[in-house]
Structure 1
Amino acid sequence: MRARIGVGAAAVLAAGAMAAAGVGAASASPSPTSVSATSTTASSDVKAAKGAGGLKAFLTLNADSPQAAGDRAAEAAAALVNHPKLFAKLPAALQADVTALKDAAPADRVKDAYKIKTTALSGGYGAEIQKRAEALEKAATGLAGLRQELRTAFGSDNPGAGLQKVADQLINHPKLFAKLPANLQADLTALKNAAPADLDAQANKIKDTAINGGYGAKVQKMAQALEKKAAAAPAT
């Protein structure tokens, strides 16, 4: 489980970065050539239930999260409950709270999911769950920082320092970094190692290449979305 959490944390970080668009946090088992809609849904539920011990959907919430986040957490709770072998391995108190979330009225879902988060982080479900929760919380904090760095860089005429931080974070996850397009790996490595005077030129090259599709369609889509958000952000 710890190995799964480590990969999940890396994937969470990368998912928020332009370079990691489309890279999955976990790989599914091979499927038969002909798959029914029911079995496809079941497979999706299994992955939702198992990811990071089923905690990620609850640990990304805040007390003022939107209704949609609470709805997703309730769906994750249902996925856990519907896989009894996995659910039975959870501490009794966590089982009770996950079941309550599954059955909660829509208006209570955010509150109930946030309760799971705070209880996990405070050790109320035991030391092992607390450790997992803290690892995911740290990953989420890192993701928020990377997203902000990317937004700032895409809205700046001097994006070098911000994108260099993103490059450093991605390179520090070698298994994930290896899945990126080869030319993007090369450009991120060059940016990480660039002299201060060359940072902006290297970063602008990455931005332009990404926006123009030079790293592939998935990275292009993420880059264009970041550029749009940066353009819409109020000036500070």
Structure 2
Amino acid sequence: MPLSIFEAILCALNTHPILNVPKSDYTFLDLSIHNSELNNINVASSKDLEAYIFNHIEKNNAKAAFGGYLEHRGIYKRSTYFNEQNPKIERDIHLGLDLWIEANTSVFSPLDGKIHSFKNNTNYGDYGPTIILQHQIDAFGFYSLYGHLSLESIENLKIGAYVKQGQQIASLGTAKVNGDYPPHLHFQIIKDIQDYEGDYPGVSNQLDLEFYKVNCPDPNLLLGLG
């Protein structure tokens, strides 16, 4: 299927790494319902899931793991924030790219931009501390979201403040503050932010998926991992 104009622009951009990890030091991680290894893991426990993820990274001689775009995941069933009675409206399809690495790891802006908004999203299973940047490439604008950050990451921020490409913007949080997940970055591209501030859906249901696939294309088009 040919790329949209938006996707083609993302592919053409020259970005700074979001984490200080060479592309060759990432390994792919599958957390979908199709990964049979997860049948033996208590995915409702951030501690058990963290042990599985970091063992996977170590076994593959990597420093970080990536994956998750449009994955149909079972891990959201632990939280009523995602789980509703009608399976057609249950949100369990992941819209961002997850980068799994130790807490306190620094996060860098891939492009020039400015701070659109920030917020501590404290629902169980939510993003925790979150930053959204606004980017303008010639006449084309879009947004990038960074979730599961440390509390310190959203202290002393100012909406509208400019951010340079390669500037450290945050660090990763622990399960205590990041929505109760193993440490990782949720990175998401958003074409139209709508009326959201400091938050944007990172998990979709089946009914809304086609809209989100267009509005939130694969972040790996920008990062080029794997």
Same fold by TM-score greater than 0.5: no
- Comparing both structures, which one devotes a greater share of its residues to strand? 2
Larger Rg computed on CA atoms:
1
TM-score range with shorter-chain normalisation? under 0.3
TM-score, length-normalised on structure 1?
0.23
TM-score, length-normalised on structure 2?
0.23
Greater RCO, 1 or 2 (C-alpha within 8 Å, sep 6+): 2
